[in-house]
Chains A and B, each alone.
Chain A
């Protein structure tokens, strides 16, 4: 393979999207250093927040955002040994479903654990916010509670 000629094709679409009444405040919260969930009609807290109740499809009260985290519990995880340019971290990390404190559902995010041996289901993690934040999901990454 190595000496065969490779052609490279790049396609780029520079979209921007409106965020709406829930994800807008959610990402505004991340920029300001706070994670929010939303209260569903049956009283549970959904984090990340949604505009609609996932069980009934009914609209949720978008003014009912609830602070959650920054700590949480890893429900399940997968180790990424060879991150690509598309991944949130340059070094090996875990994608994990994290049930944040105060939430009833899990958020998928990256855990910067250093090594796969540091990962386990049920472990506690906490959000590490970047100093420079712009209101995107990668404004933070999770780390094992008490340090990696």
Chain B
């Protein structure tokens, strides 16, 4: 008999008792990318941000998603619009990385929601480049920094990559234009 606190005899006797187990959870999903998202990814490869405009609700979806859940209508080819690659920061957070498994960043960085100019559309969790994170502010005008065409790769964009331009747009840099007053986008902070 072996009790909880006495070492058991055997091949590895003399080693420390086993008290922990690794419980490594690895979930891998594969899904077919829907046609409208494929179209969005292809447009990014060409340096364009494609969105979909819902005339009933007035909302712009980026990436396009083929329906508007607010007005409950399908959106199609006619609703596709090309969006601006400039915009304004409507919200941000500064992440101070903790070195947990998978965290590759070591220094604080900013993630921001960027409301695009013109027809609109919101890209979320965008990197803000060329300034220290503590200089990022709401209302700041920014423009996209595109990867060179030959380096773009949008394979990671899937059906749930809402608000992502990963693999095509590196991040956004301040344009130096005057800030926009927050009142001009208070209904678009999401």
Mark A residues whose CB is within 8 Å of B. 1, 4-19, 21-25, 27-29, 31-34, 36, 62-67, 133-136
Contacts and interface: CB of A to CB of B under 8 A. Distances in A.
B21 A17 contact: yes
B125 to A, nearest CB: 15
A15 B22 CA distance: 6
Interface string B58-95: 00000000000000000000000000000000000000
B29 A63 contact: no
Interface in B1-43: 1-4, 7-13, 15, 17-33, 38
Given A7-B33, A34-B8, 18 more contacts: A5-B32, A6-B32, A8-B28, A13-B24, A17-B20, A18-B19, A21-B4, A23-B21, A24-B18, A28-B7, A31-B11, A31-B18, A34-B9, A62-B3, A133-B11, A135-B18, A136-B21, A136-B22
Interface of B: 1-4, 7-13, 15, 17-33, 38, 101-102, 155-161
Contact of A10 (B13, B27, B160): B27
Nearest to B1: A65
Contacts of A28: 2, 7-8, 17-18
A118 to B, nearest CB: 28
A64 B4 CA distance: 9
A29 B2 contact: yes
Contacts of B155: 7
Instruction: Select the residue from A5, A6, A21, A65 with max chain B CB neighbours within 10 A.
Output: A5
B137 to A, nearest CB: 33
